Amino acid sequence: MTPKQRELARHALGLKDRNKKSFRNYFVVDRASAYWDEWSRMEQAGEAKRFDGATLAFGGRDLFKLTQVGAERALNHDEKLDPEDFPVTQKRKANAASE
């Protein structure tokens, strides 16, 4: 994940300022935007999933959501993912227990 992609991923998760836990997982973007290319590359890397804007109520813009892998790559060491968007897996439980 490039620094720009990480920045976009953190925005999608609502991680900024003093937030230490994500509170959403989406980014709506037009295909003409340079951001669309970044999200498309994250999708190809397995870090995001795209939902076709033609089937959504976003004026034709695509919706991207981070995968578990992509979301975890965007976190700082002291941040957490909202379990509503990212249910805790056994691997994450084991990692949290070892910290």
79 Cβ partners below 8 Å, 6+ apart?
15, 19, 20, 21, 22
Which tops the pLDDT comparison, 38 or 95? 38
How far is residue 63's CA from residue 25's CA, in Å, rounded to a whole number?
Answer: 10
Secondary element (H or E) of residue 62: strand 62-66
Secondary element (H or E) of residue 11: helix 3-13
pLDDT of residue 90: 46
Domains of the chain, each with CATH number or no CATH: 3-98 (1.10.10)
pLDDT of residue 37: 95
pLDDT above 70: percentage of residues in the chain:
89
Are the beta carbons of 57 and 35 closer than 8 angstroms?
no
pLDDT digits (tens, 9 = 90+) for 58-74: 788 999 999 999 999 99
